[in-house]
Structure 1
Amino acid sequence: MEIVFALAIGVLSGSGVWLLLRPRTFQVIMGLALLSYAINLFIFCMGRLKVGSPPIIHADLESNPALYADPVPQALVLTAIVISFATTALFLVVLLAARGLTGTDHVDGRERDT
């Protein structure tokens, strides 16, 4: 299970960095989104990958923290998802405004001479 998470984080990070280096602004925004997904997966897997464990401590059971899932990374990832969605929406609005003003969607604001 850990190797799948590690590969997913690596693929998302690599794809995000590659898209960040592209000349079009939409590709840069998609690269930022992929990087935020990779960071969310990383934060989520830092809370121990436990399947079938309750996230809260019951009074009936022993209070050994190793028996429970850590709810803090789950809360952090949920907050990060909401913030990244709002940031992506803001970036898309800025992208549309910049495209309307400049007539191009290149990062530097002008087409390359080929």
Structure 2
Amino acid sequence: MEIVLSIAIGVLAGSGVWLLLRPRTFQVIMGLALVSYAVNLFIFSMGRLKISAAPVINSSKLGADYADPLPQALVLTAIVIGFATTALFLVVILANRGLSGTDHVDGREEDDL
């Protein structure tokens, strides 16, 4: 299970960095979203991967079979903040596209160079 999660985090992070380096603004925003998903999965995996385990401490077995609830709460908060930030970025990109007429990061098309 850990190797599958590690590969998924690597693929998401690699794809996100590749998209961040693209010249179009929408691709940059999608790259930021993929990198944030990779970071969320990484933080979530730091809370131990336990299948069918309760996310609370049982008083009889202190720390034996429980998943840490703090990373789960952090990831849930990060998902909500990331969604709101992505929506704000998309609105700003649409406004910039309307004002400048292009969606390139530097504001110029390739044929303008």
Shorter-chain TM range is: over 0.9
Q: Deviations over 1:3-28 (max 9, x none)?
A: 00000000000000000000000000
Q: 1:66 offset after TM fit, Å?
A: 2.6
Q: Distance in 1 between matches of 2:57 and 2:45?
A: 20
Letter aligned with residue 66 of structure 1:
A
How many residue pairs match? The answer is: 112
Instruction: Give matches, 1:18-97, under 5 Å.
Output: 18-59=18-59, 62-97=60-95
Q: 1:56 offset after TM fit, Å?
A: 1.4
Over the matched positions of the two proteins, sequence identity in percent amounts to 77
Letter aligned with residue 54 of structure 2:
P
TM-score normalized by the length of structure 2: 0.95
Q: Distance in 1 between matches of 2:103 and 2:57?
A: 52
Local SS of the residue matching 2:52: coil
Q: Deviations over 1:57-92 (max 9, x none)?
A: 345xx1411321100000000000000000000000
Task: Specify the alignment match of 1:112 in structure 2.
Answer: 110
Task: Specify the alignment match of 1:4 in structure 2.
Answer: 4
Q: Deviations over 1:17-62 (max 9, x none)?
A: 0000000000000000000000000000000000111111345xx1
**RMSD in angstroms over aligned alpha carbons?**
1.1
Letter aligned with residue 85 of structure 2:
T
Local SS of the residue matching 1:67: coil
Any runs of at least 4 consecutive aligned residues in structure 1 with deviations exceeding 4 A, and if so which? none
